[in-house]
Amino acid sequence: MRSFLLLLLLSPAALAAEVGGVVVSVSPPADRVGEQVLAKGGNAVDAAVAVGFALAVTWPEAGNIGGGGFMLVRPPGAKSVPVVIDYRETAPASATKDLFAKGTGSAHRTVGVPGSVAGLAMAHAKFGKLPWKDLVGPAVKLAEEGFAVDDALAGSLNGGLARSKRFAEFQRVFGKTKGKWVAGDRLVQKELAKTLRRIAAKGADGFYKGETAELLVAEMKAGDGLVTRKDLEAYTAKGREPIHGTYRGYDIYGPPPPSSGGVCLVLMLNILETFDLRKGPRFSARTLHLMTETMRRGYCDRARHLGDQDFVKIPAHLTSKEYAKKLAAGIEMNKATPSEAIAKDIPLTDTKTNTTHYSVIDAAGMAVSTTTTLEDSFGSKVVVRGAGFLLNNEMTDFNPRPGVTTKTGLVGTTPNQIAPGKRMLSSMTPVIVCRDGRIVLVTGSPGGRTIINTVLCVVLNVLEFEMPLREALDAPRMHMQWFPDRLQVEPGHFDKHKKAVEALEAMGHKVIKVNAQGDAHSIWLDPKTKTYRGEHDKRREGRPAAFGKP
Protein backbone atom coordinates (compact mmCIF):
# COMPACT_ATOMS: atom_id res chain seq x y z
CA MET A 1 0.00 0.00 0.00
CA ARG A 2 1.27 3.44 -0.89
CA SER A 3 1.54 5.74 2.09
CA PHE A 4 0.68 9.35 2.68
CA LEU A 5 2.90 11.79 4.48
CA LEU A 6 0.71 13.36 7.14
CA LEU A 7 1.94 16.66 8.53
CA LEU A 8 0.24 17.84 11.69
CA LEU A 9 0.72 21.52 12.41
CA LEU A 10 1.03 21.42 16.19
CA SER A 11 2.16 24.79 17.64
CA PRO A 12 4.73 26.63 15.50
CA ALA A 13 6.63 23.52 14.45
CA ALA A 14 5.42 20.79 12.11
CA LEU A 15 5.60 17.19 13.14
CA ALA A 16 5.94 14.67 10.28
CA ALA A 17 4.85 11.06 10.58
CA GLU A 18 4.07 8.42 8.01
CA VAL A 19 0.60 7.20 8.92
CA GLY A 20 -1.16 6.63 5.60
CA GLY A 21 -4.11 9.03 5.53
CA VAL A 22 -5.95 12.06 6.84
CA VAL A 23 -8.48 12.26 9.69
CA VAL A 24 -10.41 15.38 10.73
CA SER A 25 -13.04 15.56 13.49
CA VAL A 26 -14.13 17.94 16.23
CA SER A 27 -11.96 16.18 18.83
CA PRO A 28 -8.14 16.02 18.80
CA PRO A 29 -8.05 12.82 20.92
CA ALA A 30 -10.44 11.16 18.47
CA ASP A 31 -8.30 12.34 15.55
CA ARG A 32 -5.27 10.70 17.13
CA VAL A 33 -7.17 7.43 17.51
CA GLY A 34 -8.01 7.46 13.80
CA GLU A 35 -4.44 8.27 12.83
CA GLN A 36 -3.12 5.44 14.98
CA VAL A 37 -5.48 3.00 13.27
CA LEU A 38 -4.24 4.13 9.85
CA ALA A 39 -0.64 3.83 11.02
CA LYS A 40 -1.30 0.19 12.00
CA GLY A 41 -2.48 -0.62 8.48
CA GLY A 42 -6.17 -0.01 8.93
CA ASN A 43 -8.20 1.51 6.13
CA ALA A 44 -10.46 4.57 6.17
CA VAL A 45 -13.46 2.60 7.45
CA ASP A 46 -11.39 1.10 10.27
CA ALA A 47 -10.34 4.62 11.22
CA ALA A 48 -13.91 5.94 10.95
CA VAL A 49 -15.22 3.16 13.21
CA ALA A 50 -12.52 3.85 15.79
CA VAL A 51 -13.13 7.60 15.63
CA GLY A 52 -16.88 7.01 16.02
CA PHE A 53 -16.41 5.12 19.27
CA ALA A 54 -13.76 7.56 20.49
CA LEU A 55 -16.11 10.50 19.96
CA ALA A 56 -18.66 8.80 22.23
CA VAL A 57 -16.04 9.35 24.95
CA THR A 58 -14.33 12.60 23.97
CA TRP A 59 -17.25 14.63 22.55
CA PRO A 60 -20.33 13.43 24.48
CA GLU A 61 -22.64 16.24 23.36
CA ALA A 62 -22.87 14.57 19.94
CA GLY A 63 -20.46 11.64 19.62
CA ASN A 64 -22.38 8.61 20.74
CA ILE A 65 -23.34 4.97 20.98
CA GLY A 66 -26.91 5.90 21.93
CA GLY A 67 -27.76 7.81 18.76
CA GLY A 68 -27.49 7.25 15.03
CA GLY A 69 -26.13 8.58 11.76
CA PHE A 70 -25.07 8.03 8.17
CA MET A 71 -21.71 6.90 6.83
CA LEU A 72 -20.83 7.43 3.17
CA VAL A 73 -18.02 5.16 1.97
CA ARG A 74 -16.25 5.36 -1.37
CA PRO A 75 -13.97 2.36 -1.86
CA PRO A 76 -10.63 2.91 -3.64
CA GLY A 77 -10.52 2.91 -7.42
CA ALA A 78 -11.59 5.38 -10.10
CA LYS A 79 -14.69 3.33 -10.97
CA SER A 80 -15.69 2.36 -7.44
CA VAL A 81 -19.33 2.73 -6.39
CA PRO A 82 -20.02 4.60 -3.11
CA VAL A 83 -22.20 3.01 -0.44
CA VAL A 84 -24.23 4.57 2.38
CA ILE A 85 -24.54 2.87 5.75
CA ASP A 86 -27.83 4.11 7.21
CA TYR A 87 -27.93 3.74 10.97
CA ARG A 88 -30.60 6.31 11.69
CA GLU A 89 -32.65 5.62 14.81
CA THR A 90 -36.13 4.09 14.51
CA ALA A 91 -39.44 4.66 16.26
CA PRO A 92 -40.22 2.04 18.91
CA ALA A 93 -42.98 -0.47 18.06
CA SER A 94 -45.42 1.19 20.47
CA ALA A 95 -45.01 4.70 18.99
CA THR A 96 -48.11 6.28 17.47
CA LYS A 97 -48.62 9.05 14.92
CA ASP A 98 -49.97 11.48 17.50
CA LEU A 99 -47.47 10.60 20.26
CA PHE A 100 -46.31 14.23 20.57
CA ALA A 101 -49.49 15.98 19.44
CA LYS A 102 -49.93 17.44 22.93
CA GLY A 103 -46.24 17.77 23.84
CA THR A 104 -43.31 15.41 24.29
CA GLY A 105 -43.86 14.51 27.94
CA SER A 106 -41.05 12.56 29.61
CA ALA A 107 -37.58 12.96 28.11
CA HIS A 108 -37.41 9.16 27.97
CA ARG A 109 -40.31 9.13 25.49
CA THR A 110 -38.26 11.13 22.98
CA VAL A 111 -35.70 8.32 22.68
CA GLY A 112 -35.56 6.41 19.39
CA VAL A 113 -34.02 2.95 19.05
CA PRO A 114 -30.25 3.67 18.78
CA GLY A 115 -28.44 2.73 15.58
CA SER A 116 -24.81 3.81 15.97
CA VAL A 117 -23.32 0.52 17.18
CA ALA A 118 -25.15 -1.49 14.51
CA GLY A 119 -24.07 0.96 11.82
CA LEU A 120 -20.41 0.94 12.79
CA ALA A 121 -20.54 -2.87 12.98
CA MET A 122 -22.04 -3.09 9.49
CA ALA A 123 -19.40 -0.76 8.07
CA HIS A 124 -16.66 -2.86 9.65
CA ALA A 125 -18.17 -6.12 8.37
CA LYS A 126 -18.39 -4.75 4.81
CA PHE A 127 -15.10 -2.89 4.55
CA GLY A 128 -12.93 -3.27 7.66
CA LYS A 129 -9.48 -4.87 7.79
CA LEU A 130 -8.38 -4.76 11.42
CA PRO A 131 -10.03 -6.77 14.21
CA TRP A 132 -13.13 -5.17 15.73
CA LYS A 133 -11.72 -5.19 19.27
CA ASP A 134 -8.72 -3.19 18.10
CA LEU A 135 -11.05 -0.44 16.85
CA VAL A 136 -13.19 -0.20 19.99
CA GLY A 137 -10.20 -0.67 22.32
CA PRO A 138 -8.88 2.92 22.10
CA ALA A 139 -12.28 4.27 23.18
CA VAL A 140 -12.29 1.84 26.12
CA LYS A 141 -8.90 3.18 27.19
CA LEU A 142 -9.96 6.82 26.85
CA ALA A 143 -13.03 6.18 29.00
CA GLU A 144 -11.25 4.00 31.57
CA GLU A 145 -8.11 6.09 32.05
CA GLY A 146 -9.58 9.46 31.13
CA PHE A 147 -8.11 12.22 29.00
CA ALA A 148 -7.34 15.92 29.30
CA VAL A 149 -10.27 18.21 28.60
CA ASP A 150 -9.61 21.11 26.21
CA ASP A 151 -11.35 24.51 26.15
CA ALA A 152 -14.02 23.41 23.67
CA LEU A 153 -15.00 20.32 25.67
CA ALA A 154 -14.90 22.24 28.96
CA GLY A 155 -17.35 24.77 27.54
CA SER A 156 -19.53 22.00 26.14
CA LEU A 157 -19.70 20.15 29.46
CA ASN A 158 -20.34 23.29 31.50
CA GLY A 159 -23.13 24.33 29.15
CA GLY A 160 -24.69 20.87 29.24
CA LEU A 161 -24.59 20.73 33.02
CA ALA A 162 -26.19 24.16 33.33
CA ARG A 163 -29.08 23.07 31.10
CA SER A 164 -29.60 19.67 32.75
CA LYS A 165 -30.17 20.36 36.44
CA ARG A 166 -33.15 18.00 36.67
CA PHE A 167 -31.20 15.02 35.25
CA ALA A 168 -29.46 13.59 38.30
CA GLU A 169 -27.51 10.89 36.47
CA PHE A 170 -26.26 13.39 33.90
CA GLN A 171 -25.04 15.61 36.73
CA ARG A 172 -23.35 12.66 38.44
CA VAL A 173 -21.58 11.32 35.34
CA PHE A 174 -20.48 14.63 33.80
CA GLY A 175 -20.32 16.93 36.82
CA LYS A 176 -17.27 17.90 38.88
CA THR A 177 -17.00 17.67 42.65
CA LYS A 178 -16.11 21.36 42.81
CA GLY A 179 -16.38 24.18 40.31
CA LYS A 180 -16.63 24.12 36.55
CA TRP A 181 -14.64 22.20 33.97
CA VAL A 182 -11.49 23.95 32.72
CA ALA A 183 -8.87 22.96 30.17
CA GLY A 184 -6.47 20.44 31.66
CA ASP A 185 -9.04 18.69 33.85
CA ARG A 186 -9.31 14.93 33.34
CA LEU A 187 -12.62 13.33 32.31
CA VAL A 188 -12.93 9.69 33.40
CA GLN A 189 -15.98 7.55 32.51
CA LYS A 190 -15.63 4.12 34.15
CA GLU A 191 -19.16 2.89 33.47
CA LEU A 192 -18.95 3.86 29.80
CA ALA A 193 -15.65 1.95 29.64
CA LYS A 194 -17.44 -1.20 30.84
CA THR A 195 -20.13 -0.78 28.19
CA LEU A 196 -17.55 -0.25 25.45
CA ARG A 197 -15.64 -3.30 26.67
CA ARG A 198 -18.76 -5.43 26.20
CA ILE A 199 -19.15 -4.03 22.68
CA ALA A 200 -15.48 -4.74 21.94
CA ALA A 201 -15.91 -8.35 23.05
CA LYS A 202 -19.30 -9.16 21.51
CA GLY A 203 -19.76 -6.71 18.64
CA ALA A 204 -23.23 -5.24 18.16
CA ASP A 205 -24.65 -7.96 20.44
CA GLY A 206 -22.71 -6.32 23.25
CA PHE A 207 -25.10 -3.38 22.91
CA TYR A 208 -28.42 -4.77 21.64
CA LYS A 209 -28.40 -7.88 23.84
CA GLY A 210 -27.13 -8.90 27.27
CA GLU A 211 -26.24 -6.56 30.11
CA THR A 212 -26.16 -3.30 28.13
CA ALA A 213 -29.60 -3.95 26.66
CA GLU A 214 -30.96 -4.85 30.12
CA LEU A 215 -29.65 -1.58 31.57
CA LEU A 216 -31.10 0.44 28.67
CA VAL A 217 -34.53 -1.21 28.99
CA ALA A 218 -34.50 -0.68 32.77
CA GLU A 219 -33.79 3.02 32.16
CA MET A 220 -36.73 3.18 29.74
CA LYS A 221 -39.10 1.60 32.27
CA ALA A 222 -37.93 3.93 35.02
CA GLY A 223 -38.68 7.02 32.90
CA ASP A 224 -41.81 5.91 31.01
CA GLY A 225 -39.83 5.44 27.78
CA LEU A 226 -40.95 3.33 24.83
CA VAL A 227 -37.86 1.37 23.77
CA THR A 228 -38.13 -2.33 24.66
CA ARG A 229 -35.88 -5.37 24.44
CA LYS A 230 -37.73 -6.43 21.27
CA ASP A 231 -37.10 -3.01 19.72
CA LEU A 232 -33.37 -3.36 20.39
CA GLU A 233 -33.17 -6.92 19.03
CA ALA A 234 -35.13 -5.93 15.91
CA TYR A 235 -32.91 -2.96 14.99
CA THR A 236 -30.85 -3.28 11.78
CA ALA A 237 -28.57 -0.87 9.98
CA LYS A 238 -29.11 -0.68 6.22
CA GLY A 239 -26.84 -0.42 3.23
CA ARG A 240 -28.27 2.00 0.67
CA GLU A 241 -27.36 3.53 -2.68
CA PRO A 242 -26.30 7.17 -2.33
CA ILE A 243 -28.02 10.06 -4.02
CA HIS A 244 -25.88 10.96 -7.04
CA GLY A 245 -25.91 14.26 -8.86
CA THR A 246 -23.54 16.37 -10.93
CA TYR A 247 -22.47 20.00 -10.78
CA ARG A 248 -20.36 21.56 -13.51
CA GLY A 249 -18.55 18.28 -14.21
CA TYR A 250 -18.21 17.15 -10.59
CA ASP A 251 -19.93 14.05 -9.21
CA ILE A 252 -21.79 14.69 -5.95
CA TYR A 253 -22.65 11.79 -3.62
CA GLY A 254 -24.82 12.16 -0.52
CA PRO A 255 -27.13 10.12 1.72
CA PRO A 256 -30.64 9.09 0.58
CA PRO A 257 -33.83 9.25 2.65
CA PRO A 258 -34.40 9.00 5.56
CA SER A 259 -31.74 11.70 5.22
CA SER A 260 -33.02 14.70 3.31
CA GLY A 261 -29.45 15.88 2.78
CA GLY A 262 -28.54 14.17 -0.47
CA VAL A 263 -31.82 14.97 -2.25
CA CYS A 264 -31.91 18.61 -1.12
CA LEU A 265 -28.24 19.25 -1.86
CA VAL A 266 -28.47 17.85 -5.40
CA LEU A 267 -31.77 19.65 -6.00
CA MET A 268 -30.29 22.99 -4.91
CA LEU A 269 -27.07 22.51 -6.87
CA ASN A 270 -29.13 21.70 -9.96
CA ILE A 271 -31.07 24.96 -9.56
CA LEU A 272 -27.92 27.04 -9.05
CA GLU A 273 -26.21 25.39 -12.02
CA THR A 274 -28.73 27.13 -14.29
CA PHE A 275 -27.31 30.53 -13.29
CA ASP A 276 -23.95 32.15 -14.02
CA LEU A 277 -22.92 32.58 -10.41
CA ARG A 278 -19.54 34.04 -11.33
CA LYS A 279 -21.25 37.00 -12.94
CA GLY A 280 -20.74 38.73 -9.61
CA PRO A 281 -18.58 38.26 -6.49
CA ARG A 282 -19.25 35.36 -4.13
CA PHE A 283 -20.91 37.65 -1.59
CA SER A 284 -22.72 39.97 -3.99
CA ALA A 285 -26.41 40.60 -3.37
CA ARG A 286 -27.22 38.74 -6.62
CA THR A 287 -25.40 35.57 -5.57
CA LEU A 288 -26.84 35.63 -2.05
CA HIS A 289 -30.35 36.23 -3.42
CA LEU A 290 -30.09 33.26 -5.79
CA MET A 291 -28.82 31.03 -3.02
CA THR A 292 -31.60 32.14 -0.66
CA GLU A 293 -34.32 31.51 -3.23
CA THR A 294 -32.80 28.13 -4.03
CA MET A 295 -32.72 27.14 -0.35
CA ARG A 296 -36.35 28.25 0.02
CA ARG A 297 -37.46 25.91 -2.76
CA GLY A 298 -35.29 23.01 -1.66
CA TYR A 299 -36.60 23.05 1.90
CA CYS A 300 -40.19 23.41 0.73
CA ASP A 301 -39.83 20.18 -1.26
CA ARG A 302 -38.17 18.63 1.78
CA ALA A 303 -41.36 19.22 3.77
CA ARG A 304 -43.62 18.24 0.90
CA HIS A 305 -42.05 14.92 -0.12
CA LEU A 306 -39.30 13.50 2.12
CA GLY A 307 -39.42 10.81 4.79
CA ASP A 308 -38.19 7.25 5.38
CA GLN A 309 -38.02 5.68 1.91
CA ASP A 310 -39.15 2.34 3.37
CA PHE A 311 -42.48 4.00 4.25
CA VAL A 312 -42.82 6.81 1.69
CA LYS A 313 -42.38 6.87 -2.09
CA ILE A 314 -39.82 9.55 -2.93
CA PRO A 315 -40.46 11.26 -6.29
CA ALA A 316 -37.59 10.59 -8.70
CA HIS A 317 -37.95 14.00 -10.35
CA LEU A 318 -36.59 15.84 -7.31
CA THR A 319 -32.99 15.32 -8.40
CA SER A 320 -33.53 15.80 -12.15
CA LYS A 321 -32.04 18.70 -14.08
CA GLU A 322 -35.39 19.32 -15.81
CA TYR A 323 -37.25 19.81 -12.53
CA ALA A 324 -34.54 22.17 -11.28
CA LYS A 325 -34.91 24.31 -14.41
CA LYS A 326 -38.65 24.67 -13.71
CA LEU A 327 -37.95 25.81 -10.16
CA ALA A 328 -35.19 28.16 -11.30
CA ALA A 329 -37.56 29.78 -13.80
CA GLY A 330 -39.77 30.84 -10.89
CA ILE A 331 -37.03 32.86 -9.22
CA GLU A 332 -37.35 36.62 -9.72
CA MET A 333 -33.92 38.22 -9.99
CA ASN A 334 -34.69 41.32 -7.94
CA LYS A 335 -37.47 40.23 -5.61
CA ALA A 336 -37.84 37.73 -2.75
CA THR A 337 -40.52 35.08 -3.19
CA PRO A 338 -42.85 34.80 -0.18
CA SER A 339 -42.55 31.28 1.21
CA GLU A 340 -46.33 30.87 1.19
CA ALA A 341 -46.41 31.46 -2.56
CA ILE A 342 -44.44 28.31 -3.43
CA ALA A 343 -46.49 25.95 -1.27
CA LYS A 344 -50.16 26.62 -1.87
CA ASP A 345 -50.78 22.86 -1.71
CA ILE A 346 -49.59 22.71 1.93
CA PRO A 347 -52.20 24.02 4.40
CA LEU A 348 -50.73 26.49 6.89
CA THR A 349 -51.92 26.98 10.47
CA ASP A 350 -51.33 30.27 12.29
CA THR A 351 -50.48 29.36 15.52
CA LYS A 352 -31.15 23.71 19.34
CA THR A 353 -29.71 20.64 17.83
CA ASN A 354 -26.27 19.02 17.99
CA THR A 355 -24.52 16.59 15.73
CA THR A 356 -20.91 15.98 14.73
CA HIS A 357 -19.17 15.23 11.45
CA TYR A 358 -15.81 13.67 10.62
CA SER A 359 -13.96 12.88 7.40
CA VAL A 360 -11.30 10.26 6.63
CA ILE A 361 -9.23 9.25 3.61
CA ASP A 362 -6.58 6.53 3.49
CA ALA A 363 -3.49 5.84 1.38
CA ALA A 364 -5.34 3.63 -1.09
CA GLY A 365 -7.91 6.33 -1.79
CA MET A 366 -10.82 4.99 0.27
CA ALA A 367 -12.81 7.91 1.70
CA VAL A 368 -15.39 8.04 4.49
CA SER A 369 -17.75 10.90 5.29
CA THR A 370 -19.67 10.36 8.53
CA THR A 371 -22.26 12.41 10.38
CA THR A 372 -23.65 11.17 13.69
CA THR A 373 -26.00 12.68 16.23
CA LEU A 374 -27.95 12.54 19.47
CA GLU A 375 -30.28 15.30 18.09
CA ASP A 376 -30.11 18.02 20.79
CA SER A 377 -26.84 18.79 22.53
CA PHE A 378 -26.33 15.75 24.82
CA GLY A 379 -29.50 14.27 23.30
CA SER A 380 -32.31 13.58 25.76
CA LYS A 381 -29.91 14.28 28.69
CA VAL A 382 -30.83 10.76 29.83
CA VAL A 383 -27.74 8.76 30.85
CA VAL A 384 -28.37 5.01 31.13
CA ARG A 385 -27.73 4.22 34.77
CA GLY A 386 -24.95 1.68 35.20
CA ALA A 387 -23.91 1.96 31.53
CA GLY A 388 -22.62 5.53 31.38
CA PHE A 389 -23.87 6.55 27.93
CA LEU A 390 -26.33 9.17 26.72
CA LEU A 391 -29.53 8.45 24.81
CA ASN A 392 -30.83 10.42 21.85
CA ASN A 393 -34.02 12.47 21.63
CA GLU A 394 -34.45 11.76 17.92
CA MET A 395 -38.19 11.05 18.11
CA THR A 396 -38.57 14.85 18.08
CA ASP A 397 -37.29 14.82 14.49
CA PHE A 398 -40.60 13.37 13.35
CA ASN A 399 -43.34 15.85 12.47
CA PRO A 400 -44.99 16.10 15.92
CA ARG A 401 -48.49 17.34 15.08
CA PRO A 402 -50.00 15.56 12.06
CA GLY A 403 -51.42 18.02 9.55
CA VAL A 404 -50.16 21.12 11.40
CA THR A 405 -47.64 23.20 9.43
CA THR A 406 -47.02 26.74 10.61
CA LYS A 407 -45.24 29.87 9.44
CA THR A 408 -42.97 29.60 12.48
CA GLY A 409 -41.35 26.41 11.13
CA LEU A 410 -43.45 23.56 12.57
CA VAL A 411 -43.99 20.93 9.84
CA GLY A 412 -46.87 18.44 9.95
CA THR A 413 -46.82 16.95 6.46
CA THR A 414 -47.49 13.22 6.01
CA PRO A 415 -44.11 11.82 4.82
CA ASN A 416 -42.36 12.34 8.16
CA GLN A 417 -45.13 11.45 10.60
CA ILE A 418 -44.43 8.83 13.28
CA ALA A 419 -44.97 5.11 12.58
CA PRO A 420 -43.60 2.04 14.38
CA GLY A 421 -40.18 1.04 13.04
CA LYS A 422 -39.95 4.15 10.86
CA ARG A 423 -36.79 6.24 10.65
CA MET A 424 -37.26 9.92 11.34
CA LEU A 425 -36.25 12.40 8.63
CA SER A 426 -32.74 13.77 9.02
CA SER A 427 -30.78 16.69 7.60
CA MET A 428 -27.41 14.94 7.98
CA THR A 429 -25.42 15.41 4.77
CA PRO A 430 -22.12 13.53 4.66
CA VAL A 431 -20.82 14.21 1.14
CA ILE A 432 -18.07 13.01 -1.16
CA VAL A 433 -17.30 14.94 -4.36
CA CYS A 434 -15.32 13.38 -7.22
CA ARG A 435 -14.03 14.48 -10.61
CA ASP A 436 -12.86 12.05 -13.29
CA GLY A 437 -12.99 9.26 -10.73
CA ARG A 438 -10.81 11.03 -8.17
CA ILE A 439 -11.98 12.34 -4.81
CA VAL A 440 -11.72 16.13 -4.53
CA LEU A 441 -13.78 16.91 -1.41
CA VAL A 442 -15.05 15.06 1.67
CA THR A 443 -17.31 17.18 3.86
CA GLY A 444 -20.37 17.44 6.10
CA SER A 445 -21.53 19.32 9.19
CA PRO A 446 -23.68 19.32 12.31
CA GLY A 447 -26.44 21.86 12.86
CA GLY A 448 -29.96 20.43 12.57
CA ARG A 449 -31.84 21.81 9.58
CA THR A 450 -28.94 24.18 8.83
CA ILE A 451 -26.72 21.21 7.91
CA ILE A 452 -27.73 21.01 4.26
CA ASN A 453 -27.16 24.73 3.71
CA THR A 454 -23.79 24.64 5.47
CA VAL A 455 -22.69 21.84 3.14
CA LEU A 456 -24.11 23.75 0.16
CA CYS A 457 -22.03 26.80 1.12
CA VAL A 458 -18.83 24.74 1.45
CA VAL A 459 -19.40 22.84 -1.80
CA LEU A 460 -20.11 26.04 -3.74
CA ASN A 461 -17.11 27.81 -2.24
CA VAL A 462 -14.79 25.02 -3.37
CA LEU A 463 -16.31 23.94 -6.69
CA GLU A 464 -17.87 27.14 -8.05
CA PHE A 465 -15.68 29.86 -6.57
CA GLU A 466 -12.47 27.78 -6.39
CA MET A 467 -11.64 28.79 -2.83
CA PRO A 468 -8.88 26.87 -1.01
CA LEU A 469 -10.45 24.70 1.69
CA ARG A 470 -9.33 26.92 4.57
CA GLU A 471 -10.94 29.96 2.95
CA ALA A 472 -14.03 27.95 2.02
CA LEU A 473 -14.59 26.89 5.64
CA ASP A 474 -13.91 30.34 7.09
CA ALA A 475 -16.32 32.10 4.72
CA PRO A 476 -19.71 33.39 6.02
CA ARG A 477 -22.64 30.94 5.97
CA MET A 478 -26.37 31.47 5.58
CA HIS A 479 -29.57 29.52 6.06
CA MET A 480 -33.12 29.70 4.72
CA GLN A 481 -35.46 26.77 5.44
CA TRP A 482 -38.76 27.86 3.80
CA PHE A 483 -40.44 28.64 7.12
CA PRO A 484 -39.83 30.76 9.09
CA ASP A 485 -39.66 33.06 6.06
CA ARG A 486 -36.31 34.64 6.91
CA LEU A 487 -32.64 34.44 5.95
CA GLN A 488 -30.23 33.67 8.78
CA VAL A 489 -26.65 34.95 8.56
CA GLU A 490 -23.70 34.60 10.91
CA PRO A 491 -22.92 37.69 13.01
CA GLY A 492 -19.39 38.91 12.53
CA HIS A 493 -18.84 36.84 9.41
CA PHE A 494 -21.31 38.95 7.40
CA ASP A 495 -20.35 42.33 8.83
CA LYS A 496 -18.06 43.17 5.91
CA HIS A 497 -20.90 42.42 3.47
CA LYS A 498 -23.26 45.00 4.95
CA LYS A 499 -24.18 46.56 1.59
CA ALA A 500 -25.14 43.16 0.16
CA VAL A 501 -27.34 42.46 3.18
CA GLU A 502 -29.03 45.86 2.80
CA ALA A 503 -29.69 45.06 -0.88
CA LEU A 504 -31.26 41.73 0.10
CA GLU A 505 -33.55 43.52 2.54
CA ALA A 506 -34.54 45.94 -0.21
CA MET A 507 -35.57 42.91 -2.31
CA GLY A 508 -37.92 41.79 0.46
CA HIS A 509 -35.76 39.32 2.37
CA LYS A 510 -36.00 39.41 6.15
CA VAL A 511 -32.40 39.01 7.35
CA ILE A 512 -31.54 38.07 10.93
CA LYS A 513 -28.24 37.37 12.66
CA VAL A 514 -27.87 34.05 14.50
CA ASN A 515 -25.10 32.07 16.12
CA ALA A 516 -22.21 30.54 14.17
CA GLN A 517 -23.48 27.96 11.68
CA GLY A 518 -22.06 24.46 11.35
CA ASP A 519 -18.78 22.71 11.98
CA ALA A 520 -17.56 21.31 8.66
CA HIS A 521 -14.41 19.24 9.18
CA SER A 522 -13.35 18.47 5.62
CA ILE A 523 -10.70 17.00 3.33
CA TRP A 524 -9.82 18.58 -0.03
CA LEU A 525 -7.56 17.74 -2.95
CA ASP A 526 -5.43 20.83 -3.50
CA PRO A 527 -5.30 21.20 -7.32
CA LYS A 528 -1.94 22.99 -7.21
CA THR A 529 0.03 20.60 -5.02
CA LYS A 530 -2.04 17.45 -5.73
CA THR A 531 -2.08 16.76 -1.99
CA TYR A 532 -5.01 16.04 0.28
CA ARG A 533 -5.52 18.72 2.90
CA GLY A 534 -7.62 18.18 5.99
CA GLU A 535 -8.98 21.23 7.78
CA HIS A 536 -10.86 21.65 11.05
CA ASP A 537 -13.62 24.22 11.15
CA LYS A 538 -12.47 27.15 13.30
CA ARG A 539 -16.01 27.53 14.61
CA ARG A 540 -15.01 24.71 16.93
CA GLU A 541 -11.67 24.17 18.61
CA GLY A 542 -9.52 21.62 16.77
CA ARG A 543 -6.07 21.00 15.40
CA PRO A 544 -5.17 23.41 12.61
CA ALA A 545 -4.44 21.18 9.62
CA ALA A 546 -3.45 17.84 8.15
CA PHE A 547 -1.91 17.03 4.78
CA GLY A 548 -1.40 13.88 2.75
CA LYS A 549 0.08 13.02 -0.64
CA PRO A 550 -0.47 9.68 -2.42
**CATH number of the structural domain spanning residue 290:** 3.60.20.40
Say how far apart CA 23 and CA 157 lie, in whole Å: 24
Per-residue pLDDT, 345: 86
Give me the chain's average pLDDT, please.
92
**Are 123 and 271 in the same domain?**
no
Do the domain assignments include residue 507? yes
Do the domain assignments include residue 447? yes
Q: How many domains does the chain have?
A: 2
**Are 224 and 261 in the same domain?**
no
Judging by beta carbons within 10 Å of its beta carbon (0-12, 13-18, 19+), is residue 76 exposed, middle or buried? middle
Please check the confidence at residue 68 and state whether its pLDDT lies above 50.
Answer: yes
Strand 487-489 and strand 511-513: pairing? Answer: parallel
pLDDT band of residue 12 (cuts 50, 70, 90) is very low
**Are 122 and 265 in the same domain?**
no
- Residues that are catalytic: 355
pLDDT band of residue 499 (cuts 50, 70, 90) is very high
Please check the confidence at residue 4 and state whether its pLDDT lies above 60.
Answer: no
Q: For residue 484, give the DSSP letter.
A: S
Helix, strand and coil content of the chain, in percent to the nearest 5, comes to: 40, 20, 45
Q: Which amino acid is at 330?
A: G
Q: What is the mean pLDDT of residues 213-232?
A: 98
**Are 132 and 49 in the same domain?**
yes
**Are 221 and 270 in the same domain?**
no
Please check the confidence at residue 7 and state whether its pLDDT lies above 50.
Answer: no
Sheet bearing 522-526, strands edge to edge: 14-17, 6-9, 545-548, 531-535, 522-526, 438-443, 431-435, 250-254, 243-247
**Are 386 and 510 in the same domain?**
no
Q: How many CB atoms lie within 10 A of CB 275?
A: 16
- In the listed set 385, 412, 439, which residue is the last one of a domain according to the structure? 412
Do the domain assignments include residue 183? yes
Do the domain assignments include residue 418? no
**Are 402 and 491 in the same domain?**
no
**Are 303 and 432 in the same domain?**
yes
Say how far apart CA 74 and CA 368 lie, in whole Å: 6
Q: Which amino acid is at 424?
A: M
Proportion of the chain above pLDDT 70, given as a percent: 93
**Are 229 and 252 in the same domain?**
no
Do the domain assignments include residue 347? no
Say how far apart CA 361 and CA 179 lie, in whole Å: 40
- In the listed set 412, 442, 457, which residue is the last one of a domain according to the structure? 412
Say how far apart CA 335 and CA 15 lie, in whole Å: 52
Do the domain assignments include residue 71? yes
Per-residue pLDDT, 542: 54
Q: Using an 8 Å Cβ cutoff, are 85 and 372 in contact? A: no
pLDDT band of residue 494 (cuts 50, 70, 90) is confident
**Are 226 and 317 in the same domain?**
no
Do the domain assignments include residue 339? no
Please check the confidence at residue 56 and state whether its pLDDT lies above 50.
Answer: yes
Judged by DSSP in three states, 27 sits in: coil
- In the listed set 412, 446, 479, which residue is the last one of a domain according to the structure? 412
pLDDT band of residue 543 (cuts 50, 70, 90) is low
Residues of the domain holding 271: 240-333+428-548
Proportion of the chain above pLDDT 90, given as a percent: 84
Higher pLDDT, 514 or 122: 122
Q: Which of 139, 88, 86 is nearest to 113 (CA)?
A: 88
Q: What is the mean pLDDT of residues 211-232?
A: 98
Please check the confidence at residue 325 and state whether its pLDDT lies above 60.
Answer: yes
**Are 73 and 133 in the same domain?**
yes
Say how far apart CA 92 and CA 220 lie, in whole Å: 11
Q: At what angle do helices 44-58 and 28-39 cross, to 10 degrees?
A: 150
pLDDT band of residue 274 (cuts 50, 70, 90) is very high
Strands (DSSP E) found in 64-161 = 68-74, 83-87, 147-148
pTM: 0.94
**Are 510 and 542 in the same domain?**
yes
pLDDT tens digit sequence for 364-393: 999 999 999 999 999 999 999 999 999 999
pLDDT tens digit sequence for 396-424: 999 988 888 878 777 878 999 999 999 99
Q: What is the mean pLDDT of residues 236-263?
A: 98
Say how far apart CA 321 and CA 93 lie, in whole Å: 39
Do the domain assignments include residue 350? no
Per-residue pLDDT, 20: 66
- In DSSP terms, 85 is beta-bridged to 71, 239
